[in-house]
Structure 1
Amino acid sequence: MAQKVLLFGDIGIDDTIAIIYSFFNKDIELVGIVADYGNVSRETAVNNVYYLYDLFGIEDGPPIIGGAEVPMTGEYPMYAQEVHGESGLGPITPSDYEGESENFFEIVKLIEKYQDDLIIVNIGRLTSLATMFILYRSLMKKVDGFYIMGGAFWVPGNVTAVSEANFYGDPIAVQIVLRYAHNATIIPLNVTQQAIVTPEMVDYIAYKGKTKIIKPLLDYYYDFYKESNPDIPGSPVHDVLTVMASIRDDLFTYETFPIHIVEATEEIQRGQSIANFMESDMAESDELDRPHRIAFDLDYPKFFNDFMSIMTGQPFNSKNSS
């Protein structure tokens, strides 16, 4: 039976690839998409999901739920247009869709309906997820687990030297989620930066013709990454990997540590994720630094086989890559 997934995202390029992957994977049943601010505004994020539904002919897709507009820090959000393009879809500018998003509290109905059959995957800012923990802490205990793309442990960040974008964007929300989530798995930059999709992979997927927009999206994404690192062999698909994690534990090597998130206002420290590997046993009862499972390594051949098989619609293995 397919894993029921409620997806929270700030629908930019890699979020879009993650949604497309979920559409095509028979082992995943998306039951809802919460569209948040982050890479783009909430309004644009909602519009991007409608665009995908239209592009792939999805008439009765999972409900599109309007999420948070601003972080819990009270700041005006800064969008990532330099990474994802003005509309969040690289060179693509979707038309404005007339459909309205569902009320935020549709999330409550979904959790009540599916309960421990449900996994929440958060691939954007954590503001909406934190709001659910503030308002419905008991209800959130019924969710089977949480998979969160965020953080950078013992590797450089992608916003500051120590901070990853999702944790940097609303560190208050991150602290709330990690304090109250009972079964959270963190998929940080440590592993997502290993999930590289090369131009050759993109060209082959585009040749198969199933994914429609993957080539313009990932070509645009790759151009951005090459500017900062000319030697990078392809685009890291952070959000796809986090969706994969919800059904493929075998892709990763995990460790469990208490995690502390720095809420400092200083730019370089804000949103820093710190794993306290010295006190993993002592911190079991400390809600301020509750232990969570962190991915530290990725089996790339398994990632490659899974990604290529789902995105091309045919069995694939790493021996076909040459």
Structure 2
Amino acid sequence: MGRKVLFFGDVGIDDTVALIYAYLSNDIDVIGIVACYGNVSKKQTTRNVRYLLEKIGRTDIPVMGGAEKPMTGEVPVFYPDVHGPQGLGPISPPPANALALENFFEVIGIIEKYSDLVIVNVGRMTSLATLFLLYPDTMKSINSFYIMGGAFNVPGNVTPSAEANFYADPVAANIVMRYAENVFLYPLNVTQNAIVTPGMVNYINRKDRTHLLKPLLDYYYEEFYKKKVPGIEGAPVHDALTLMGVREGKMCEFYRTAVAVEISGEARGLSIGDFRKTFDPHDFDGRPIHSVAISLDYLSFYKSFMGTMSGDEF
């Protein structure tokens, strides 16, 4: 079995692609999923997670209900134009799977059970931040964190300056960046380059054991990215790239810097890092130093994604 991963997500299309990658990989063992609001509501995320686990025959993986709204106290905004009305593009999970979960603190038992646990967070950071506020000593036992969030020195995807996960709950994002240790952060400026083309999707589909990837990624590309980003050759799998980092550490180049998040105002959700090479990166408000991905070796991504998803050698 592979590295033990506790997965936090607002399971839409690219979260599902990430979990399928983990399922097909021998190097990643998802031992729990925290279902949170984000792309869709917490209730819908729970339904989507249960549907996926049934499809891949892994209903043994525990599912825990995470946050329903951000720490800002605002009513969350969902984005049906991106992931579809139920978060899985053209797929509608059965209503019978829409079970609300109020068992979030079962997460602590999982954390205490595994000595080398990795947390992958690819959605809003509200649930993860809650753990740092309530169980700071317990969270020190986590081996590492792989987080999708932020946009450094590039435009955001929700506002001109902010990426969706940082923008939706900047308070939580700032808490995680302030207290988490050994973070590998995958920002929008890198994840947007993890493109899966229609040709790649068609190749995988011929051997797809889940029969989910093609409808999901075709929808993601045709109904959103092709319309919103003219000229783009496929759909970027932001969350899959982040989870792939658990086994493919050399796929990205990283820059070491502390990270802060703007909480309010016109620059809400802005990712702040110190990229001045003449300055000591440790001199940044006493914050821990994180590994921020700044470039992607696309060939390495292609080989890992295609090889794992299809089962062929690349």
Q: TM-score normalised to the size of structure 2?
A: 0.95
State how far apart, in whole Å, the 2-side matches of 1:157 and 1:181 are. 23
Letter in 2 for 1:256: R
Q: Does 1:304 align with 2:276?
A: no
CA-to-aligned-CA distance 1:119-146 (integer Å, 9 cap, x gap): 0000000000000000000110000011
Which ranges in structure 1 are unaligned for 5 or more consecutive residues? 318-322
State how far apart, in whole Å, the 2-side matches of 1:42 and 1:35 are. 6
Q: Does 1:89 align with 2:88?
A: yes
Give secondary structure in 2 for the equivalent of 1:157: coil
Match of 1:28 in 2: 28
Match of 1:239 in 2: 239
Deviates more, 1:91-100 or 1:67-76: 91-100
Map 1:1-322 → 2, pairs under 5 A: 1-60=1-60, 62-98=61-97, 101=101, 103-115=103-115, 117-223=116-222, 224-266=224-266, 269-278=267-276, 281=280, 283-284=282-283, 286-287=285-286, 289-315=287-313, 317=314
State how far apart, in whole Å, the 2-side matches of 1:54 and 1:76 are. 31
Cα distance, 1:57 vs. partner? 2.5
State how far apart, in whole Å, the 1-side matches of 2:44 and 2:147 are. 22
Give secondary structure in 2 for the equivalent of 1:246: coil
How much identity, in percent, do the aligned residues show?
A: 52
Q: Is residue 260–residue 276 contact of structure 1 (8 Å, CA) maintained in 2?
A: no
Distance 1:282 1:210, change over 3 A: closer
Which ranges in structure 2 are unaligned for 5 or more consecutive residues? none
State how far apart, in whole Å, the 2-side matches of 1:219 and 1:139 are. 41
Match of 1:320 in 2: none
Letter in 2 for 1:16: T
Q: Is residue 257–residue 281 contact of structure 2 (8 Å, CA) maintained in 1?
A: no
**What do you get for the CA RMSD once the two structures are aligned?**
1.5
Distance 1:282 1:292, change over 3 A: closer
Give secondary structure in 1 for the equivalent of 2:129: helix
Cα distance, 1:27 vs. partner? 0.3
Letter in 2 for 1:12: G
Cα distance, 1:284 vs. partner? 5.0
Give secondary structure in 1 for the equivalent of 2:48: helix
CA-to-aligned-CA distance 1:186-231 (integer Å, 9 cap, x gap): 1011210110000000011111232311111111110201111120
State how far apart, in whole Å, the 2-side matches of 1:265 and 1:38 are. 21
Q: Is residue 184–residue 292 contact of structure 2 (8 Å, CA) maintained in 1?
A: yes
Following TM superposition, where does structure 1 have runs of at least 4 consecutive aligned residues deviating by more than 6 angstroms? none
Q: Is residue 281–residue 289 contact of structure 2 (8 Å, CA) maintained in 1?
A: no
Q: Is residue 130–residue 177 contact of structure 1 (8 Å, CA) maintained in 2?
A: yes
State how far apart, in whole Å, the 2-side matches of 1:265 and 1:137 are. 29
State how far apart, in whole Å, the 2-side matches of 1:181 and 1:76 are. 26
Give secondary structure in 2 for the equivalent of 1:255: strand
Q: Is residue 6–residue 121 contact of structure 1 (8 Å, CA) maintained in 2?
A: yes
* Aligned residue-pair number: 311
Q: Is residue 256–residue 281 contact of structure 2 (8 Å, CA) maintained in 1?
A: no
Q: Is residue 63–residue 102 contact of structure 1 (8 Å, CA) maintained in 2?
A: no
Q: TM-score normalised to the size of structure 1?
A: 0.93
Deviates more, 1:97-106 or 1:151-160: 97-106
Structure number with higher helix proportion: 1
